[in-house]
Amino acid sequence: MTVMLVNPGPLRTRMRAEAMPGEDPRTLRTPEEVAGGIADLLSPGWTKSGMIYDVPTGTIKAPQAPA
């Protein structure tokens, strides 16, 4: 079994627009723009597990205990 967490970062969604009414939505990625990277985690060739895919930085990170 493979388990991954995803931090999508701020995305251009209706929920975010309601929570952040003064933010310019054109400065945010759309869910469709990040879906491809997330889909890679679902491919049969993906071998990492227990990690975090940080979409804003495009990196895979090890989880850390809270300070």
Inside any domain, residue 66: no
> pLDDT tens across 2-49, in order?
899 999 999 999 999 999 999 999 999 999 999 988 898 888 999 999
Q: Which two tokens stand for residue 22?
A: 């003064």
Cα(67)–Cα(57) distance, rounded to whole angstroms?
Answer: 22
Residue 14: its H or E element: helix 14-19
pTM reported for the whole predicted model: 0.80
Instruction: Give the pLDDT of residue 2.
Output: 86
Structural domain boundaries enclosing 23? 4-61
Instruction: Give the pLDDT of residue 37.
Output: 84
* Number of domains the chain is built from: 1
The CA-atom distances, in angstroms, between 10 and each of 18, 30, 39, 55, 59 are 13, 9, 18, 10, 16
Inside any domain, residue 67: no
Q: Does residue 1 carry a pLDDT above 90?
A: no
